[in-house]
Amino acid sequence: MEDLLNFAKGPLFRFSFAVMLLGLLRLFVLSLINGFEAKKKAPDKSIPKGYVRKLTWGYLFPIRAFRTKPIYSLVSIIFHIGFILTPLLLYSHALLFSESIGFSWMGISLSKPVADNLALITIFAGIILLLLRLTSKITRSISRKQDYLWLLLLVVPFITGYVCSAVVTEPATYKTFLTIHVLSGDFIFIFMPFTKIAHCILLPLSQWVTARSWKFVPEAGENIEKILGKEGQKL
Amino acid sequence: MERINKFKLVLWIILGIALAAGITRFIFGLGATTNLSDTTPWGFWIGFDVMGGVALAAGGFVIAAFNYIFGRKEFHSISRAAILTAFLGYVAVVIGLLFDLGLPWNIWHMIIFWNPHSPLFEVGWCVMLYLTVLFLEFMPVVLERFPNLHLLSKIHKVLTKIRIPLVVLGIMLSTLHQSSLGSLFLTMPYRLHPLWWSPILPVIFFVSAICLGLMMVIVENMTSSYLYKREFEENILGKLSRIAVYLLLFYLVLRFGDIIIRGAGIFLFQASWGTYLFWLELALTVFIPLIIFIIPKLRKQPNFLYLGALSGVFGIVLNRLNVGGLTHLTNLTKSGSFYFPSWLELSISAGVVSLAMLAFFYFIENYSVWDEKPKDIDSEPLTVPKFNTNYVYLGPTKTANRVKFSFAFVIAFGLAFALISGKHIYSKGFDKTPVYKARGGDTLLIDGNRNGYGVMFPHKFHGDSIKIACGKCHHLNKPKDKNTQCFECHNDMYLTGDAFRHDWHTSAQGANLNCFECHKHNVNKGEEFRGNMAAITKLCLKCHNDLFPADVKVKILKTYVTLSYTDAMHKLCINCHKERLAADSLLRKSKPGLALCSNCHPKPAQYSAEHKLFTKQNVNKWVVVPPRLK
């Protein structure tokens, strides 16, 4: 167990962290290049800028979605905030960074009760998201296996992290949970640039690239039935 | 996949590894990445990147001289590629040098703070100027592509007009610094092996650089032709090899004449590492190429021509490595430190070379470096992708390459970064020197590392005759112990120790305590742990009430970091002796040297060669964050 933990926080962590950072950067640069190349080849060089801007902002700050799907939007926003802030601003993580590379952001880290509660909230938000995905027929029909798996995998480090921080005190159990925590974090990092989680870096670009390379009719997404000529048909 | 793409993929992988190594070098320093030491401060980076790189780039000025000065116009078709190789070679030298310099941001100092007596100063200036000259020589090739831009075409015109002066300047600068790299080693006749050190080292360097330049042009031309599946200039390369024959013969005569006239011939036939290296180097540099280049039957076969040129290239690079560090007597004899480059050093050098190669391919593909450009991959008619579930279509070749190369780069970077262990990141530092118990009864022999050089300490005298309290020295006991000896806590000769062992207290095999038996339970990790660790942590005395002996005056335990054995002994003895001297005027007269070194160390220490302070530490391979004692 000790060896596995050391391996997970040592070589495996360095590998996964490097792959995540560089892999996400690679995706960003590749999609930028692809976007510009698409422009070079396209006969019609115009892009619907206003529409792209509106959609991108809509995805980044989904305030408008409250009108149609209030619960889902709220839970999703909470999940995202918790998912990003908790690990990033956790004091223990900042401490690890300062121990290994010499500088860190310990000054702005969260206090323990805030971090613990945020982790709990994130876990519950994740579970609610999973339930929402399971209960709705539409989302179930467009979900793949990995969509469910991802949600579960994302929640694992939060659960184990919370257990380590607030529940267990006995060393052997603590180390077991810590090992699961680090390992699941490593796997998330490794798979991040190669799966749908890459939306964290691709989101600002995705609408732009789509508008450049695919040339869909503006607002095709909202009026998909009308555009395809399948109005009034059953799902 | 085509040849060139496979090759590029390998280059990108190497580049990924090198980037990881480079980042480690710049964050954690030279000690963390290299095997260099104070006795071997110049290693692979100087020998290969700088001296080898400069020599490898000699092809530029040699071909330029033949083409523009000696009027051998037949070399024109390879001159552009040769100049490009030289330019990229010098860029690689500069990049490689930045890794090796301890303070790379001070590289501009040479421009302002002149030291005209130093060969390195001359080398620096020449490399800088020659890099500029090469840039200007190659610039027209890039500018050709933009005939419509007015300003650029004007610059192009000016540059083509001043080409001959530029070439002359380039040859002059090359002559100066190719030889000056040899002059650097003139100052160390007692350090460099006698088969290499010579008063005419600058001349040897210059002649070998010209040989290398010719052979490097052959290698570069044949390699790139092979990769791009193109006919290489057999005729021209044959001519080059014939010129190389004369130069190699001259080099051979020069080398052996120098050795024999200097009287170093006795070293030629010894059974020693230095001699073997010498013969290996000469075989690669001179004998193999000469045999191949002289016999026309062999020379006409491309494989043999390539083999000969490649062996020459390896030989002269080996020569630079030998002079640059391998054959220094510190490295060859037993008393010195043995140097062999670490894999991080090798990977950074390989990365710099592959960066230069990728740049070379970029220029070849996008500018008219050759008479005819290589086939544009994208101009091929698009093939219809096969819809196979096992096969992912990544787009046309160029796009697919982009995806593949960047993927390989990222994975290689990650793997290399994972392999750079905590050992590297935390530098090697000192080796542990365990301390052994002091022996004896009434008189103790204090010899912590048992190197035979100890201090005779009259223990009984201090306790019984002059009545020093036991607690003065035995200031702390281990739990459930009495009169704990010095070596138990001060357990390293030169390093600070850990008298508490946090790991042991928390481990299941040890004390198996949970965190909150010592740290306050209601602590907020986010806040109070930050600065005030002492306030929320129980003192050792709460659990172990037998730590202090009865006669200790000051019962405070501030830290569990223990001094090194030597520091602890010296601090205790010297301070006490000084206090006694200051307090007792009678003692000042009878024993004035009580607080001096010679009081306890009557004989000076003898150096023992076996004892090494700086040796490799092999523990903690996987641990990223070793317990740092603050």
- Listed by start position, the domains of chain B span 43-341, 439-600
The domain total for chain A is: 1
Judge whether residue A123 has pLDDT over 90: yes
Nearest residue in B to A173, CA atom: B508
Q: Which of A2, A14, A105, A174 to mutate to test the interface with B (most CBs of B within 10 A)?
A: A14
- Amino acid identity for residue A225 in this structure: E
Q: Which two tokens stand for residue A31?
A: 């999609």
Nearest residue in A to B414, CA atom: A15
Predicted pLDDT at A124: 94
> Are the beta carbons of B624 and A10 separated by less than 8 Å?
yes
- CATH number of the domain enclosing A162: 1.20.950
Mean of the per-residue pLDDT values of chain B: 83
Q: Closest Cα partner for B327 from B185, B154, B137?
A: B185
Q: Does the CB of B589 have a partner CB in chain A at under 8 Å? A: no
- pTM for the model: 0.76
CB A114 within 8 A of CB B526: yes
Task: Give me the count of residues in chain B.
Answer: 630
> Are the beta carbons of B508 and A34 separated by less than 8 Å?
no
> Are the beta carbons of A15 and B623 separated by less than 8 Å?
no
The stretch A88-106 carries a mean pLDDT of 80
What is the C-alpha to C-alpha distance for residues A26 and A22, in angstroms, rounded to an integer?
Answer: 6
Judge whether residue A115 has pLDDT over 60: yes
Number of A/B CB contacts below 8 angstroms equals 96
pLDDT bracket for residue B384 (50, 70, 90): low
CB B474 within 8 A of CB B484: yes
Q: Does the CB of B527 have a partner CB in chain A at under 8 Å? A: yes
The stretch A206-218 carries a mean pLDDT of 75
Sign of the alpha-carbon dihedral angle for A110, A113, A116, A122: negative
State the nearest Cα–Cα gap between A133 and chain B, in angstroms.
28
Q: Closest Cα partner for B545 from B557, B559, B536, B553?
A: B557
Sign of the alpha-carbon dihedral angle for A196, A201, A202, A203: positive
Nearest residue in B to A113, CA atom: B524
Judge whether residue B616 has pLDDT over 70: no
Residues of A in contact with B403 (CB under 8 A): 30
| Of residues B613 and B88, more confidently modeled | B88
Question: Degrees (nearest 5) of the Cα angle B588, B593, B599?
Answer: 135
Predicted pLDDT at B330: 66
Is A232 inside any structural domain?
no
What is the C-alpha to C-alpha distance for residues A189 and A181, in angstroms, rounded to an integer?
Answer: 12
What is the C-alpha to C-alpha distance for residues B258 and B277, in angstroms, rounded to an integer?
Answer: 18
Q: Does the CB of B321 have a partner CB in chain A at under 8 Å? A: no
3-class SS at B415? helix
- N-to-C CA span, chain A: 51
State the nearest Cα–Cα gap between B478 and chain A, in angstroms.
24
What is the C-alpha to C-alpha distance for residues B82 and B443, in angstroms, rounded to an integer?
Answer: 77
Q: Which two tokens stand for residue B109?
A: 């100092």
Sign of the alpha-carbon dihedral angle for A88, A90, A94, A97: negative
pLDDT single digits (tens) B147-171: 888 888 888 888 888 888 888 999 9
* Beta strands B443-446; B561-562: pairing state: unpaired
> Are the beta carbons of B399 and A34 separated by less than 8 Å?
yes
Is A15 inside any structural domain?
yes
Predicted pLDDT at B71: 82
State the nearest Cα–Cα gap between A142 and chain B, in angstroms.
21
pLDDT single digits (tens) B410-427: 999 999 988 886 655 554
Q: How far is CA B486 from CA B456, B555, B559, in A?
A: 15, 18, 17
> Are the beta carbons of B410 and A193 separated by less than 8 Å?
yes
Q: Does the CB of B120 have a partner CB in chain A at under 8 Å? A: no
pLDDT bracket for residue A161 (50, 70, 90): very high
Q: Which of A7, A12, A15 to mutate to test the interface with B (most CBs of B within 10 A)?
A: A15
pLDDT bracket for residue B629 (50, 70, 90): very low
Q: Closest Cα partner for A106 from B487, B157, B278, B531?
A: B531
> Are the beta carbons of B622 and A10 separated by less than 8 Å?
yes
DSSP 8-state secondary structure symbol assigned to residue B328: B
Q: Closest Cα partner for B491 from B432, B450, B546, B547?
A: B432
| Of residues A27 and B71, more confidently modeled | A27
pLDDT single digits (tens) A174-203: 889 999 999 999 999 999 999 988 988 888
Residues of A in contact with B407 (CB under 8 A): 26
Residues β-bridged to residue B458: B443
The stretch B379-406 carries a mean pLDDT of 74
Predicted pLDDT at B383: 61
- What percentage of chain A carries pLDDT values higher than 90? 29
pLDDT bracket for residue A64 (50, 70, 90): confident
Q: Closest Cα partner for B244 from B218, B274, B277, B263?
A: B218
CB B181 within 8 A of CB B205: yes
Q: Which two tokens stand for residue B472?
A: 């003065």
> Are the beta carbons of A171 and B419 separated by less than 8 Å?
no
Q: Looking at the structure, give the CATH architecture of the domain made up of residues B43-341.
A: Up-down Bundle (1.20)
Residues with Cβ < 8 Å from B17, sequence gap 6 or more? B347, B350, B351, B412, B413, B415, B416
Residues of B in contact with A113 (CB under 8 A): 524, 526
State the nearest Cα–Cα gap between A48 and chain B, in angstroms.
26
- What percentage of chain B carries pLDDT values higher than 70? 87
Q: Which of B404, B417, B519 to mutate to test the interface with A (most CBs of A within 10 A)?
A: B417
CB B167 within 8 A of CB B69: yes
Domain that holds residue A37: 2-217
Q: Which of A22, A114, A163, A173 to mutate to test the interface with B (most CBs of B within 10 A)?
A: A22
CB B49 within 8 A of CB B354: no
The stretch A105-114 carries a mean pLDDT of 81
Question: Degrees (nearest 5) of the Cα angle A166, A172, A175?
Answer: 65
The stretch B516-531 carries a mean pLDDT of 59
The stretch B421-441 carries a mean pLDDT of 69
State the nearest Cα–Cα gap between A135 and chain B, in angstroms.
32
Q: Which two tokens stand for residue B513?
A: 């305590």
Sign of the alpha-carbon dihedral angle for A17, A18, A21, A24: negative
DSSP 8-state secondary structure symbol assigned to residue B443: E
> Are the beta carbons of A22 and B20 separated by less than 8 Å?
no
- Amino acid identity for residue B65 in this structure: A
> Are the beta carbons of B20 and A115 separated by less than 8 Å?
no
- Helical packing angle, A70-89 and A112-135, nearest 10°: 140
Q: Does the CB of B386 have a partner CB in chain A at under 8 Å? A: no
What is the C-alpha to C-alpha distance for residues A95 and B67, in angstroms, rounded to an integer?
Answer: 63
Nearest to B414 among A6, A15, A37 (CB): A15
**HEC assignment per residue over B445-468:** EECCCCCCCCEEEEHHHHHHHCCC
pLDDT bracket for residue B311 (50, 70, 90): very high
pLDDT single digits (tens) B557-612: 777 888 889 889 999 999 999 998 888 888 888 888 888 888 888 766 554 444 44
The values of phi and psi at residue B111, to 5°, are -75, -35
Judge whether residue B523 has pLDDT over 70: no
| Of residues B273 and A20, more confidently modeled | A20
CB B167 within 8 A of CB B130: no
Predicted pLDDT at A20: 94
> Are the beta carbons of B514 and A99 separated by less than 8 Å?
no
Judge whether residue B517 has pLDDT over 50: yes
CB A11 within 8 A of CB B418: yes
> Are the beta carbons of B422 and A110 separated by less than 8 Å?
no
Judge whether residue B505 has pLDDT over 50: yes
What is the C-alpha to C-alpha distance for residues B538 and B513, in angstroms, rounded to an integer?
Answer: 13
Nearest to A111 among B407, B527, B623 (CB): B527
Task: Give me the count of residues in chain A.
Answer: 235
| Of residues B87 and A66, more confidently modeled | B87
Predicted pLDDT at B615: 41
What is the C-alpha to C-alpha distance for residues A116 and A90, in angstroms, rounded to an integer?
Answer: 9
CB A52 within 8 A of CB A211: yes
- What percentage of chain B carries pLDDT values higher than 90? 24
> Are the beta carbons of A26 and B414 separated by less than 8 Å?
no
Give the number of C-alpha atoms closer than 13 A to the C-alpha of residue B184, restricted to the C-beta side: 22
Residues of B in contact with A165 (CB under 8 A): 525
pLDDT bracket for residue B380 (50, 70, 90): low
Q: Does the CB of B419 have a partner CB in chain A at under 8 Å? A: yes
CB B540 within 8 A of CB B474: no
What is the C-alpha to C-alpha distance for residues A59 and A199, in angstroms, rounded to an integer?
Answer: 11
Nearest residue in B to A108, CA atom: B526
pLDDT bracket for residue B626 (50, 70, 90): very low
> Are the beta carbons of A34 and B417 separated by less than 8 Å?
no
> Are the beta carbons of B526 and A115 separated by less than 8 Å?
yes
Q: Closest Cα partner for B157 from B133, B139, B180, B178?
A: B139
pLDDT bracket for residue B375 (50, 70, 90): low
State the nearest Cα–Cα gap between A70 and chain B, in angstroms.
33
Predicted pLDDT at B612: 44
Q: Does the CB of B512 have a partner CB in chain A at under 8 Å? A: yes
| Of residues B405 and A61, more confidently modeled | B405
Nearest to B628 among A30, A99, A170 (CB): A99
* Beta strands B455-458; B443-446: pairing state: antiparallel
Judge whether residue B428 has pLDDT over 50: no
> Are the beta carbons of B514 and A100 separated by less than 8 Å?
no
